[in-house]
Chains A and B, each alone.
Chain A
């Protein structure tokens, strides 16, 4: 994999490729992320996710025990506003509703969320 293509970018900041991703792992992540995968694509995702995760492994070389996690750079903390209802502009509301896939009146219509219940 590493010698597949000798492009300029490829050589930069070398990485190794020893992380393997099983078919079951890919299918499990896809399920969690609500993604249907085509059968013929699964092997390529195994390879790609494995090589990307092998590359990012290099972060483990750094000792970060005493380093805080990055927060907002500008130093902002919580941004508050008054707890009052501000109505949406009616024209914006209309245009948002017009984008619904399926609706009844102005309500968004969806399939049943709980499968064993019917109307």
Chain B
């Protein structure tokens, strides 16, 4: 059988029993990439040391050493997360040739858990986009239909898992960049609570919302990855001291007695009616499993995207100020320093990045700061309050992840606002800093649909419980393109 399509749990059992070696599993993933990635284009590069690292794990296992929970499991890494000595570009030309000087904390923790870092997955430039078409290098395609986008910005990570190249991958989120591609590619993707996973070594897009999040085929696998990467890190002062660390074996596959809220605003105009029906059926399945379903309202949701597209570009314009062409990456010389900055940044950044830097510079500038940025921060408070209010009555919220299934490559590429609207159901969780997860729940025209589950801050367990119960009763996640 093709070992690369095993789940982490299945592969872990085979590795532990000696039925499979880490080397064979890693080789199987590398072979799958070599054969299939010419079309999918999920990977920017694969690791040259992966097989060697796998053999080292096998040797340690043979010697009877105690190994981490992900020992020998190959994992793809979105190209915005630093892996020491790997070229790490953020999908941008401006970092072409940049070699990461250290490991991100999440990467160091994956290594400590025994994972094999298999390669860099493609993404929209500096995670700005919803289709992975904004990568400077090439667009990634959707493994279910290669004329469609995989979603984004973590499209490479989601497509790599969906295509069976790797059992798991890390992505990152600012406004839905793990959940939305997970939905469009038919896999599970988690955006943890802000602060749960250290941002140290994650290229900064919007520092008040960015989080690293795992992608895999099952909820249990995603929980295993979260267990490995979560926790306080003194190098990220916004990381949280956790009172409830994740223990994947504690996930109950039972939702009886739980109350799940269905927000009416998430089924409003603009929602594809076929996608809505599939999600409604998934919610009905949870009801049959014993959950109480309750209609709720998150009244400020229709304003979330507007607030997001002020706050996010504002923070991005500030964060991307570091790309000066002097300390690393692309450099284009001008007559003087000012001209060097302008040329380096003008040539090194792609159009969407320039668009957002200008948008952010504008809304932060004198005379506009109050009307845009300060206003958006106030609306962010209202959105957070909507969730606080809802969670007084429900244990979790269930709704669609994306208003549509995957669209044609090129369809929204020249229309930034149409692209932004793909994030309408995901940005709310980032603004409110709550956890969210997308779980495959069916198909429309042969393309995957995702059920989104939103939870209280630091209550990832409830999301896992709802998601694992759903996967226990359905088989969408076992289907492959």
Contacts and interface: CB of A to CB of B under 8 A. Distances in A.
Given A7-B418, A8-B272, A34-B341, A101 B328 contact: yes
B477 to A, nearest CB: 25
Q: Is the interface of A mostly helix, strand, loop or mixed?
A: loop
Contact of B326 (A7, A58, A108): A108
Q: Is the interface of B mostly helix, strand, loop or mixed?
A: helix
Nearest to A93: B101
A44 to B, nearest CB: 8
A31 B362 CA distance: 11
B392 interface: no
A13 B269 contact: yes
A70 B377 CA distance: 5
Interface string B324-343: 01111101000011101111
B272 A68 contact: no
Contacts of B303: 58-59, 61-62
B278 interface: no
A48 B362 CA distance: 13
Contact of B307 (A57, A59, A92, A98): A59
Contacts of B431: 70
A91 to B, nearest CB: 8
B306 A59 contact: yes
B376 to A, nearest CB: 6
A100 B101 CA distance: 12
B114 to A, nearest CB: 23
A37 B336 contact: no
A13 B327 contact: no
Interface string A59-99: 11110100111101110100101000000010010011011
Nearest to B102: A92
A81 B75 CA distance: 34
Nearest to B309: A56
B347 A36 contact: yes
A49 B100 CA distance: 34
Nearest to A111: B337
Nearest to A68: B381
A95 B432 CA distance: 37
A57 B338 CA distance: 33
B317 interface: yes
Q: Say which size band chain B's interface belongs to.
A: 35 or more
Given A67-B378, A101-B327, A49 B358 contact: yes
Q: Say which size band chain A's interface belongs to.
A: 35 or more
A96 B404 CA distance: 43
A41 interface: yes
A48 B337 contact: no
Interface in B350-394: 351, 354-355, 357-359, 361-362, 365, 371-372, 374-382, 384
B416 A52 contact: yes
Contacts of A81: 234
B56 interface: no
Contacts of A51: 416-417
Contacts of B404: 7-9
A58 B417 CA distance: 14
Contacts of B342: 31, 34-36
Contacts of A9: 270, 403-404, 412, 418-419, 421-422, 424
B251 interface: no
Contacts, number: 216
B240 interface: yes
Interface string B95-118: 000111110000000000000000
B357 A15 contact: no
B126 interface: no
A10 B374 CA distance: 27
Interface string A21-52: 00000100111111111100100010011011
A20 to B, nearest CB: 14
B36 interface: no
Contacts of B223: none
Given A35-B342, A36-B347, A59-B307, A69 B362 contact: no
B381 A67 contact: yes
B378 A68 contact: yes
A12 B403 contact: yes
B345 interface: yes
A52 B302 CA distance: 15
Interface in B28-47: none
Most buried by A among B341, B351, B418: B418
Interface of B: 84-85, 98-102, 194-195, 208, 234, 237-238, 240, 268-272, 300, 302-303, 305-307, 309-310, 317, 325-329, 331, 336-338, 340-343, 345-347, 349, 351, 354-355, 357-359, 361-362, 365, 371-372, 374-382, 384, 403-404, 407, 411-412, 415-422, 424, 431-433, 457
Given A55-B417, A69-B378, A95-B100, 18 more contacts: A7-B407, A12-B403, A29-B362, A30-B358, A31-B342, A36-B347, A41-B351, A49-B359, A58-B303, A60-B371, A64-B379, A67-B379, A68-B378, A69-B377, A70-B380, A72-B208, A73-B433, A79-B237
Interface of A: 4-5, 7-15, 26, 29-38, 41, 45, 48-49, 51-53, 55-62, 64, 67-70, 72-74, 76, 79, 81, 89, 92, 95-96, 98-102, 108, 110-113, 115
